[in-house]
A and B are shown apart, each in its own frame.
Chain A
Amino acid sequence: MSEFGGMDELLQDFLMESSELLSDVDNKLMELEKRPDDLALLNDIFRGFHTIKGGAGFLNVNAMVNLCHRTENLFDKLRNGELQISAGLMDVILDATGSVREMFGALSQGRQPTDADPALIAALDAALAGQAIAPAAASAPAAPAPGTGPDWNALYQAVTPQAPAPAQPAAIAPATSAPALAAPVAPAAAAPVAEPPKTAKPVAKSGGGGSSGQQENTIRIDTVRLDMVLNLSGEIGLTKNRLTTLRTEILQGNTDQNTLRSLDEAIGQLDLLVGDLQNAVMKTRMQPVGRLFQKYPRLARDLARQLGKEVELVISGEETELDKTMIEDLNDPLVHLVRNAVDHGIELPADRVAAGKKPQALVQLTAEQVGDHILIEITDDGRGMNADALRRKAIEKGLIDAETANSLDEKQCLQLIFLPGFSTKDQISSVSGRGVGMDVVRTNIQKLNGRIDINSIPGEGTRISISLPLTLAILPVLVVRACNQPFAVPLAMVREIIPIESGAIQEVSGRPTIVVRDEILPVRMLAGLLGWEPTQKPAFGVLMQSAERSFILAIDSFVGRDDVVIKPLQNIRPKGVAGATLSGDGSVVLVLDMEDLLSAEGASPVGNRLSELIAL
């Protein structure tokens, strides 16, 4: 049926919509484990598989039709009370959703997915036949197609008295010759099952929820939002017409009070409208984080089962909206953090009971908008982090020396886990510790202009907070001047601006510092960081704070705050420059990347970073 128009587009739509549907099914399955008799849940899951199957049928993805058909039948029997859910059955079903997800992956790369693992199909068929579930490992020979009414075709013809012309006449066996095989809904799907299982190895099980690597490049937008954009651009058009008229009048020498007032009004209106338009366009990029979050309960569950732990992942604030690109880039860090919470944070049920806790652990994943940023928190009620253990570990790994270690307070010790090469597990488990450490998590969050913080109470649990700006498209900056040139620094890092008096700068171990409210902060000259000769003594200091360091950026003067759209520089990438933007008077302002700028200085960046870290 590939003659169908707009196939590629349809495929994209299908993938997006059914991936959501599948995540939803996954979550409902988690619920079902708690309430195995909930009819509404069973119905929903049934409908999920049914809908995916329907779509897959149109796209001719027989492997998927085949698999979904079985799971759908299974849920039909479950909701009719013909079968009962069991732990073994649940595993088979979850395997099936994992397999469907892999097929989505194959489709998104433009490949026709391979058939599901024959053992999985066999297990589903066995379950359908009412047999107790053997672990899906046994590669049983393919069972006959599931028992839909054998004579349906005849009946179908009887009810709708015309020759049915199914999609693939060739694939449908005439009802009389092979009734058992005429699985009506999935005509072609019945065939592969009847063959002995091929040598095709089952696709590697990824456990679902991992990063798929490929980014979606389509977006779904609420039409109300799109209409708003349309509306505003229309109004801007009207205002532009007004301005054109006014220009003609002014060019003709008509500069009386009225004309000028009209000009002022029109420009004021344009200002408002453009601001609104920017907001409206930004909103079209905003997506609820729920779409991201909904993958994680399954991830946590699978992991917990693998580790013999009992964990429930509770999600809240899934309607909180974030820029689409950020949502995608958040996936890897969040997967890592959820894994960490389950693997490192949560104790085994027996240990939990011994510590006077409930055997089932709770991991909470929350999102909320706080002011102009989004706060995402992952909280577990596990064993928490022990400052001494972290300290010892860091020394053992040779990341810090004993002397530095002892000078760290508890809060600083927690920060140690962000050091590259830090892992508290002695053995790299298959679960966490796959080379992506907390340092990568933090780097990724920082790339999004975000911050990550840890709070932990030994015995009670750990909370990791990620704070992110609402969008990456528009960056609030502070415009400062050095060497008679304006520069923009991200406002998110600015804590305060202080005047620098000549006597305030003190030398501590050969470096200039300023004491601000009992805190000793290093001073960096912006001109010096850029490698320029300062043209005057710095008059102001901007107290900057990022996750790993605080310092004072010494500048000549400052212009003010501004919201800018960063234009990346093509082909060249000067150290410390994130991009450029235009200021109101039309001059070019370089936007500085402070992390990059600071890493350029200092001979041993790691040692430097460490001392910075400790100075935090």
Chain B
Amino acid sequence: MADKNLRFLVVDDFSTMRRIVRNLLKELGFTNVDEAEDGQVALHKLKTQHFDFIVSDWNMPNMTGIELLRAVRADAQIKHLPFLMITAEAKRENIIEAATAGASGYIVKPFTAATLEQKLAKIFQTMAK
């Protein structure tokens, strides 16, 4: 399994949700987690600090998750970062939109630590190739 010291950025406008994701990550042994409350804040953090993994909500004010994803993929410095999209949005076009924009994974709320672990494992696997 992946290095437990990986630095995660959890992006969600709803602080309860950030805590939930943070708790789930902690259950999996990832404790190096920072938070951002929307895409803009996240992008600023990504540009100024080092992160290894982005977990982002889709629906946020100011800058949505998908906009953040596109911005990340367009930035040479951080374009390589794995990006897991978390959302309650489960419509086909959304999933396709996220996939084409370069999401590394897509996870539908609500989910458990086990689900998250599977998704993460999948992403690490792909990265290792």
Chain A: residues with CB nearer than 8 A to chain B? 1, 4-6, 10, 13-14, 17-18, 21, 44, 47, 50-51, 53-55, 57-58, 60, 148-149, 151-152, 155-156, 159-160, 162, 164-167, 184-185
Contact = CB atoms under 8 A, between A and B. Distances in A.
A185 B108 contact: yes
Interface residues of B, number: 35
30 contacts: A4-B24, A5-B23, A10-B20, A13-B15, A13-B16, A14-B16, A17-B14, A17-B16, A18-B14, A18-B16, A44-B61, A51-B13, A54-B17, A54-B110, A55-B14, A152-B90, A152-B91, A155-B95, A156-B108, A159-B95, A160-B95, A160-B99, A165-B112, A165-B114, A165-B118, A167-B111, A167-B112, A184-B90, A185-B88, A185-B109
B16 A55 contact: yes
B102 interface: no
Contact of A54 (B14, B19, B105): B14
A53 B108 CA distance: 12
B88 A58 contact: no
A17 B15 contact: yes
Interface string B39-73: 00000000000000000010111000000000000
A5 B88 contact: no
Which one of B26, B88, B112 has the highest number of Cβ atoms from chain A below 10 Å of its Cβ? B88
B96 interface: yes
A164 B119 CA distance: 9
A432 B18 CA distance: 42
Which one of A6, A17, A44 has the highest number of Cβ atoms from chain B below 10 Å of its Cβ? A17
A314 B112 CA distance: 44
A165 B122 CA distance: 12
A178 B61 CA distance: 35
Interface of B: 13-17, 19-20, 23-24, 26-27, 57, 59-61, 87-92, 95-96, 99, 105-106, 108-112, 114-115, 118, 122
Given A162-B118, A185-B109, A58 B91 contact: no
A51 B112 contact: no
A151 B111 CA distance: 20
B122 A162 contact: yes
B65 to A, nearest CB: 12
B17 A152 contact: no
A438 to B, nearest CB: 39
A386 to B, nearest CB: 48
B23 A6 contact: yes
A259 B88 CA distance: 68
Contact of B109 (A10, A14, A54): A54
